[in-house]
Amino acid sequence: MAQLILLRHLKSQWNKENRFTGWTDIPLSKEGVASAKEISEKIADFKIDKVYTSPLIRNKETVSLVLKNLGQEDLPVFTDKALNERNYGKLQGLNKDEMKEKYGEEQVKLWRRSYNAAPPGGESLEEVVKRVVPFYKKYIKEDLKKGKNVLVVASHNSLRALIKYIENISDENIINVELPYAGIRKYEFDESLKVKGAESI
């Protein structure tokens, strides 16, 4: 049975500073780097055949640290911008709490978590789904069909887009779905690629 693990990248410097990151290429924080060993141990029993990630440095650094801790640095890693975080537009680099004070907590939540609302100059989750899901179908799903176990290391909203598709979550309910920094979501599929099991680790 094929397995899929979704791993949100370790805490970045701007995560630590509570700033909107989006497509801005920010490295991991010292705390994020330090947490790599603990996170790697959570998936140590998972046989990985292939890794997918995005070109953003926080995702690539997470892959590198995790594979190093697992002693699997020779695994094939495929990188594509389809798995990038959502573009937060004019909010990128700004403090999240300050934006809540300026626009209201409810509006900021809609920009961050809803399906249709896009931040000023940025992407809605719907737009992220339109680039993430076709990539998943073209590459990751094909690997799963062949019985390969896949690790996807990416950013919050690209992973939320995948979770929405895989678990068939409605446009209305996706606002309630979150994955913490270094959060892990594991899926088991049957031969027809129906989800047999899903759990957060």
Distances 128 to 156, 165, 190 between C-alpha atoms, Å = 11, 12, 27
- Res 114 pLDDT > 90: yes
DSSP string, 109-159: HHHHH-SS---TTS--HHHHHHHHHHHIIIIIHHHHHTT--EEEEE-HHHH
In whole angstroms, what is the distance from residue 56 CA to residue 36 CA?
A: 17
- Res 144 pLDDT > 90: yes
User: Residue 192 has what pLDDT?
Assistant: 85
Which top CATH class is 3-200? alpha beta
Please say whether the beta carbons of 53 and 77 come within 8 A: yes
Q: Could you report the per-residue pLDDT of 44-89, keeping only the tens digit for each?
A: 999 999 999 999 999 999 999 999 999 999 999 999 999 999 999 9
Q: Which of 123, 122, 129 is nearest to 167 (CA)?
A: 129
What angle do helix axes 125-135 and 156-167 make, rounded to 10 degrees? 70
Q: Give the mean pLDDT of 88-92.
A: 97
Q: Could you report the per-residue pLDDT of 156-173, keeping only the tens digit for each?
A: 999 999 999 999 999 999
Which residues are catalytically annotated?
9, 85
- Of 67-81, 132-146, 185-199, the one with minimum mean pLDDT is 185-199
